[in-house]
A = this chain, B = another copy of it.
C-alpha cells in the first residue's frame, strides 16, 4: 500500500534511489490511476524534455519488482501500470473503455477460493467488465 506523499522514503526503503525521473513517474501514475507507457512518456516529457523512454521501461520493471507498482493487463488494451494501493478490483467499462477501481476485499476472496478448491493460493487479480460510474450517469 503506497502513499504518494512519502514516495521518496518508500523508494529508499525498497532500495531504489529517489531520482527526479522516478518520483515523477510515481506521481504521474498516482494522478492517472492507470496509465500506459506511451501516455506516461508524453506527459512527463513536457516536464523533463531529456527524458528517455528507456528510462520509463527500466523504471516500470524496477518499481514492479519492488512491488511499488503493478502491471495491469486487460484484453485488447496496452499494458498499464498502477500504484499498489488498497485492495481493489478493476472494472473495464464496456461503453467507454475506461478502467475504474472497485474497492473489494481480495483477501477474503482468496480464502474463499482456497476453501472451494483446496489449493495453495497467495494472491489474486480480478477484472470485471461492466458499466463504469460515469457512463451509468
Stretch from A1-9, A40-48, A49-57, A72-80 at the B interface: A72-80
Protomer copies: 2
Q: Which range holds the interface residue count of chain A? A: 20 to 34
Instruction: From known contacts A74-B73, A75-B71, infer whether A124 and B117 are also in contact, taking CB-CB under 8 Å.
Output: no
Nearest chain B CB to A47's CB is how many angstroms away? 28
Instruction: From known contacts A71-B75, A71-B76, A76-B71, infer whether A130 and B120 are also in contact, taking CB-CB under 8 Å.
Output: yes
A122 at interface by CB-CB < 8 Å = yes
Return the CB mask of A104-137 against B: 1 if under 8 Å, else 0. 1000011001001101111111111111010010
- Residues of chain A whose beta carbon lies under 8 Å from any beta carbon of chain B: 64, 70-71, 73-76, 89, 91, 94, 102-104, 109-110, 113, 116-117, 119-131, 133, 136
